[in-house]
Amino acid sequence: MDDRRGRRLPFNGHLHTNLSPDADVPIDAYARQAVELGIPEIAITDHVDFDPRAPAYAFTTFEERRRVVREAARRWEPLGLVIRFGVELTYERAWDEAVRHHLRQHSYDFVIGSVHIGADSPYISGRLEGWIVGKSLPEIVEPYFTEVEAAARSELFDVIGHIDFVKRFLAPHITAADLAAAPELIEPVLVALVETGTALEINTSGLRQPPEETYPSAATVARYQALGGDRVTVGSDAHLAGQFAWALSDGYAAAESVGLKPSLEPRLTRV
């Protein structure tokens, strides 16, 4: 992978350590790169799932994650690095009450809510190919975008992560260009973000995955701003050390091109 790491940017708001089941990175590996690259703030956002079949269900404990992050924050503070204790919570309406209970019991600096591809998802490889036969594009994306809109309207999260992540799994059957030609399909998600004051994440991991564009695209970020959205975060969604800050500059550029200033400030209240 070419060195496309962003440099001298305000923060990286989406990072997974070895306390996520799909990552293998010690927290200090990210901290070291942040200092090296002139990024003064990072958020550690390891996965927490609520479906017992999901890989991050009870993978570790809140107390362990908090201890690791707080200890690292103390180690790196003398070098000018702020490390926030964040989390990426998987949201599905079926587990809404479990998510609410978790957030009532546990306090974070920064909370991402994301819809992933769970055990019952039609988007799983081997299931998707048969499921999409005879379906229109709106019918294909509806299950995913309905969950993402519900996540935004729950008002549980500071930010909704990778709002069109589904395009990673639809490729090559449905391309990013196909979705770009139907912007009305994601519009209800954007409206929900604006109406609830929930931030939009610009996630640069899509640039190293089949969509080859950010989640969401720069055009979608511009539409969010046109609808009145003014809260964005940027993160590389790293799961490997080499992915730290990868293409992070592209995410900032998408925000700044429409006059948006990325921030990690949490929402004032959660429902």
Residue type, 60: T
Q: How much is the average pLDDT of 93-98?
A: 98
Structure tokens at 259: 């006059």
Asked whether residue 268 is assigned to any structural domain, the reply reads no
| Percent of the chain residues past pLDDT 90, beyond the cut | 96
Pairing verdict, β 41-44 and 159-160: unpaired
Q: What is the pLDDT of residue 79?
A: 98
Instruction: Count up the domains in the chain and report the number.
Output: 1
Confidence at 269, pLDDT banded by 50, 70, 90: low
Asked whether residue 263 is assigned to any structural domain, the reply reads no
Asked whether residue 265 is assigned to any structural domain, the reply reads no
On the question of pLDDT at 233 being above 90, the answer is: yes
Asked whether residue 207 is assigned to any structural domain, the reply reads yes
Q: How many CA atoms lie within 13 A of 133 on its CB side?
A: 5
Its sign, for the CA torsion 206, 90, 261, 8, is: negative
The predicted-structure confidence for 166-209, as pLDDT tens digits, reads as follows 999 999 999 999 999 999 999 999 999 999 999 999 999 999 99
State the helix-helix crossing angle for 187-196 and 137-153, rounded to 10 degrees. 10
The predicted-structure confidence for 111-133, as pLDDT tens digits, reads as follows 999 999 999 999 999 999 999 99
At 24 the three-state DSSP class reads coil
Asked whether residue 124 is assigned to any structural domain, the reply reads yes
Mean residue pLDDT of the chain comes to: 97
On the question of pLDDT at 99 being above 80, the answer is: yes
Structure tokens at 55: 């890989």
Q: What is the pLDDT of residue 266?
A: 86
Domain that holds residue 42: 12-256
Q: What is the pLDDT of residue 3?
A: 82
Asked whether residue 6 is assigned to any structural domain, the reply reads no
Q: How much is the average pLDDT of 49-62?
A: 98
The predicted-structure confidence for 1-49, as pLDDT tens digits, reads as follows 568 999 999 999 999 999 999 999 999 999 999 999 999 999 999 999 9
Asked whether residue 233 is assigned to any structural domain, the reply reads yes
Tally the residues of the chain: 271
Q: How many CA atoms lie within 13 A of 127 on its CB side?
A: 10
Q: How much is the average pLDDT of 151-171?
A: 98
Pairing verdict, β 12-15 and 41-44: parallel
Asked whether residue 154 is assigned to any structural domain, the reply reads yes
On the question of pLDDT at 227 being above 80, the answer is: yes
CATH of the domain at 46: 3.20.20.140
Q: What is the pLDDT of residue 270?
A: 63
The pTM of this model reads: 0.97
Q: What is the pLDDT of residue 267?
A: 77
Q: What is the pLDDT of residue 122?
A: 97
CA distance 245 to 230: 23
